[in-house]
A and B are shown apart, each in its own frame.
Chain A
C-alpha cells in the first residue's frame, strides 16, 4: 500500500530504522575503529570535513562509519551537527607560508626556491588492484595499506613554517604577476553560512562556497571550463602545497593572537594570462586564482582555483555566460548537501500537487466540468473569491 495514504507512517518509519540498525550493523567488536578510518580512509575523512564545513577528523570518521561509507550523507551529518554549535567568533587570517608542508609542487618552474617536495602522492603510481591482498589474510604477510604509523607514512609534517617560500611571492618579485588584486581586497570576508548569498556575490563569498562545495561537482564545472565551455582556460599551478596550517584567534582577555591548533589543508595558487581579466597594471602580467580546502583533497583544491579564475573573469561573449563563468550556475549547483537533498526529495510523496494537476487534466478532457465560480459546496463559501480584496 502507499506510503502515506493510510495511517501507519510512524510504524513504517520505525521498521525502516530497525532495518538500518539491525541486520547489517556489525557487532561492537566487529566495528571498524574510528582511528582506523582516520588512518586508512583519510581521503574520505578529508572530503567529508571539507564538504561538511567542519574540521573534526574524529566526528567525520564517525559519520563515515555511521552512514556505511555514503560520503554525501556523512558530509551532510557533519554540517547538521555544525548547526548545533554556537558561533563564538572568527579566526585570524593565515598565510599559506605559515604552513608546515608535507608536499608542495609547482608546475610553472622546473626548480623553485625551497625545492619541489613530492611527498606522499598516488599521482605517479600505477593504479593496479593488488590482487594478492584478496588472498592474504588481513593480518598476514605484507602490511595493509595505510596501517603504518602516520609519521612513517609521511603524513607528519617534518618541515618548519617558512622553509618554503611561496611561489606566488617569487613570481611577484619577478614582476610577472599582476600587482593589483582585483576583487581580492574586501573589508571583512562575507560568511555565507550566516547570510545567504545575494548575487552578484563577493569573491570571499564564492571562495567560501567553493571550499564547501562537493568535490565531484567542482571537478565537473572546472573541467567544463578547461574544455572550452567558458572558464578561465587551462591555467597553470604556480603552487600546490599540502600541510598543516595554524589556527590563530584573538585571545578574549589579552587581545593577543594565540595559536590554538593546527589543521591539515591543501592550498593551490593557479596562474595564467587567461585568468582574471581585470585591467592589468603592466602588460603581460599573470593573474592569480586561489583554492583552499580542508585535508588533502588536491583535485578539489585545483578545481576550486580554476573556478575562482573563471568567476573572476567577465564574460564578454554573446548570450548567456557558460556554466563555469556564471556565478549563480556555479554557486547554486555545487553544494553537495543541497543538491543531493533536493534530488532525493523526489522520493517524498507528491500526490497533492500531482492530483491538482490531474484534476485540471480531467477537467480539460471533459471528465469533470469546471465552473469559473468554483465549487459552491466548498467548505468556505467565498473561498474562490480570489480576485477580491
Chain B
C-alpha cells in the first residue's frame, strides 16, 4: 500500500460551474431558508429543527442532509473536505466532493483536516481536534434518538418538548439488566447543553467526546427526515450513562494501525482470507499524515 501526497484535489473541473445550474446547485432562496434553519439550530443546541429538505442529485440516505448544509454555506474562499467512514477517497465522499467542485468552482477541496474550513462527514469525526474557524457537517440517517423507544413523530416531539426522557433511560437500564452493561455501539445518545437528547449520527463512541465542549461548530443534517440540529462550540455533550455503568469508548487493546503504527486512533478491521485481522486507521488523513511525517523524519 502506498502513501499518496494528499494535497488539494485536481482543479481541472474548476474552470466553470455546471452549465444550466445555479452556484452550489441549490437556488439562493432555498439556501437562505436552510441557513435560517441552521441559525435556529445553533440557538437551540440539540433541538431538531424541521426544514424543507430539497432533493439533490445524490440519493436520499446518501448524505443529502449534510450536503444541503454544505451547499448552503460554501462560497469563495472556502476549503471543503468530505469523508465517509473517515476516508476522503471513499466513493460516496468522492461523489459528493465532485458535486461541490462542479457546481461551486471557486471553492477549494482538500483532504487535509487542518486546512479545511468545512468538513462534511459520514460516520466519523476527524481524530485531529478541530479549531474554532472550522465547521463539521455530519450526515445523519436517523435524527431521532427516541425512535428506538417511540415510533411516532408526534409523540417524540412532545417528549423532547417536555424533556420527558425517562423511557430512553429505561431502555438503557434494561440494557444493563439484560446484558450486564451498556451495549449501544455507534450513534450513542447524548444530552446536549443539559436539555435535548441527541443522536450524534452513527459515529463510533470513540468520537463522541470530540463533540463535548469543542472549539468547532458541529452541524447535523438529515435530508430524508428533514431535520437540522447543531452543537455550537463550547457546548456540553454528555453521553447518557450511569454512575456505576459509565460511558466507555471502543477498546483496541494493544492493536496498532498496520500502515502508520498509530495506537491512538479509531481502528477498523481488515480481515485476511485466512480469518486473521489487520487493523488500520479509519481516518485516512490522520494515517497518511503520520506516514508522511515518518518518511520525512519529522515524527
**In contact, B270 and A382 (Cβ under 8 angstroms):** no
| B129 CB contacts on chain A under 8 angstroms | 380
Q: How far is the CA of A13 from the CA of B60 in the complex (A)?
A: 19
Q: Which of A80-94 contact B (CB under 8 A)?
A: 80, 82-87
Q: How far is the CB of B127 from chain A (nearest CB, A)?
A: 6
Q: How far is the CB of A34 from chain B (nearest CB, A)?
A: 16
B1 in the interface, Cβ–Cβ < 8 Å?
A: yes
A41 in the interface, Cβ–Cβ < 8 Å?
A: no
**In contact, A357 and B186 (Cβ under 8 angstroms):** yes
Given A84-B27, A356-B206: A193 in contact with B238 (beta carbons within 8 A): no
B22 in the interface, Cβ–Cβ < 8 Å?
A: yes
**In contact, A345 and B61 (Cβ under 8 angstroms):** yes
Chain A 1-35 interface 0/1 with B at a Cβ cutoff of 8 Å (1 = within)? 01111111110110010000000000000000000
Given A5-B270, A196-B51: A384 in contact with B224 (beta carbons within 8 A): no
B197 in the interface, Cβ–Cβ < 8 Å?
A: no
Q: How far is the CB of B88 from chain A (nearest CB, A)?
A: 8
| B237 CB contacts on chain A under 8 angstroms | 386
**In contact, A341 and B90 (Cβ under 8 angstroms):** no
Q: How far is the CA of A37 from the CA of B129 in the complex (A)?
A: 54
A103 in the interface, Cβ–Cβ < 8 Å?
A: no
Interface of A is mostly: loop
| B108 CB contacts on chain A under 8 angstroms | none
**In contact, A374 and B238 (Cβ under 8 angstroms):** no
A121 in the interface, Cβ–Cβ < 8 Å?
A: no
**In contact, B27 and A375 (Cβ under 8 angstroms):** no
Stretch of A111-119, A154-162, A213-221, A363-371 lying at the B interface: A363-371
Q: How far is the CA of A196 from the CA of B253 in the complex (A)?
A: 45
Interface of B is mostly: loop
Q: How far is the CA of A357 from the CA of B123 in the complex (A)?
A: 13
| B50 CB contacts on chain A under 8 angstroms | 195-198
Given A194-B52, A368-B253, A382-B209: A352 in contact with B241 (beta carbons within 8 A): no
| B248 interface neighbour in A7, A194, A371, Cβ under 8 Å | A371
| A385 CB contacts on chain B under 8 angstroms | 209, 212
Q: How far is the CA of A364 from the CA of B181 in the complex (A)?
A: 9
**In contact, A383 and B210 (Cβ under 8 angstroms):** yes
| A87 interface neighbour in B4, B29, B91, B236, Cβ under 8 Å | B29
| B27 CB contacts on chain A under 8 angstroms | 83-87
Q: How far is the CA of A344 from the CA of B26 in the complex (A)?
A: 24
B87 in the interface, Cβ–Cβ < 8 Å?
A: yes
**In contact, B93 and A378 (Cβ under 8 angstroms):** no
Given A80-B57, A328-B154: A350 in contact with B123 (beta carbons within 8 A): yes
Stretch of B73-81, B112-120, B159-167, B261-269 lying at the A interface: B261-269
| B93 CB contacts on chain A under 8 angstroms | 9
**In contact, A8 and B89 (Cβ under 8 angstroms):** yes
**In contact, A379 and B94 (Cβ under 8 angstroms):** no
B86 in the interface, Cβ–Cβ < 8 Å?
A: yes
Q: How far is the CA of A343 from the CA of B61 in the complex (A)?
A: 8
| B263 CB contacts on chain A under 8 angstroms | 377
**In contact, B269 and A355 (Cβ under 8 angstroms):** yes
B220 in the interface, Cβ–Cβ < 8 Å?
A: no
Nearest neighbor of A374 in chain B, beta-carbon distance: B249
| B153 CB contacts on chain A under 8 angstroms | 199, 328, 332
A338 in the interface, Cβ–Cβ < 8 Å?
A: yes
A135 in the interface, Cβ–Cβ < 8 Å?
A: no
| B55 interface neighbour in A76, A198, A363, A375, Cβ under 8 Å | A76
Given A342-B141, A345-B141: A7 in contact with B4 (beta carbons within 8 A): yes
Nearest neighbor of B86 in chain A, beta-carbon distance: A352
Given A195-B50, A195-B52, A382-B209: A342 in contact with B60 (beta carbons within 8 A): yes
Q: Which of B95-149 contact A (CB under 8 A)?
A: 95, 98, 122-124, 127, 129, 141
| B250 CB contacts on chain A under 8 angstroms | 355-356, 359-360
Q: Which of A205-262 contact B (CB under 8 A)?
A: none
**In contact, A341 and B226 (Cβ under 8 angstroms):** no
A340 in the interface, Cβ–Cβ < 8 Å?
A: yes
Q: How far is the CA of A361 from the CA of B129 in the complex (A)?
A: 28
Query: Among B179, B249, B265, B282, which residue has the most Cβ atoms of chain A within 10 A?
Result: B249
Q: How far is the CB of B110 from chain A (nearest CB, A)?
A: 14
Q: How far is the CB of A169 from chain B (nearest CB, A)?
A: 35
Q: How far is the CA of A269 from the CA of B28 in the complex (A)?
A: 38
Q: How far is the CB of A331 from chain B (nearest CB, A)?
A: 10
Nearest neighbor of A357 in chain B, beta-carbon distance: B185
| B224 interface neighbour in A85, A342, A378, Cβ under 8 Å | A342
**In contact, A386 and B269 (Cβ under 8 angstroms):** no
**In contact, A356 and B246 (Cβ under 8 angstroms):** no
| B253 interface neighbour in A6, A7, A351, A369, Cβ under 8 Å | A369
Nearest neighbor of A339 in chain B, beta-carbon distance: B60
Q: How far is the CB of B50 from chain A (nearest CB, A)?
A: 4
| A9 interface neighbour in B25, B90, B186, B226, Cβ under 8 Å | B90
**In contact, A341 and B29 (Cβ under 8 angstroms):** no
**In contact, A83 and B95 (Cβ under 8 angstroms):** no
| B196 CB contacts on chain A under 8 angstroms | none
**In contact, B87 and A360 (Cβ under 8 angstroms):** no
A79 in the interface, Cβ–Cβ < 8 Å?
A: yes
B190 in the interface, Cβ–Cβ < 8 Å?
A: yes
B56 in the interface, Cβ–Cβ < 8 Å?
A: yes
**In contact, B209 and A380 (Cβ under 8 angstroms):** yes
Would you list 7 pairs from A and B whose C-beta atoms are within 8 A, ordered by A residue?
Answer: A12-B91, A340-B59, A350-B202, A352-B186, A353-B185, A364-B181, A364-B183
Known: A350-B123, A353-B187, A359-B185. 17 other contacts (CB 8 A): A7-B4, A13-B98, A83-B30, A83-B56, A84-B26, A86-B28, A194-B52, A196-B52, A328-B151, A337-B55, A341-B60, A351-B269, A352-B123, A359-B251, A383-B206, A384-B249, A387-B238
- In order of increasing CB-CB distance, the 3 nearest A-B pairs are A341-B60, A196-B226, A345-B61
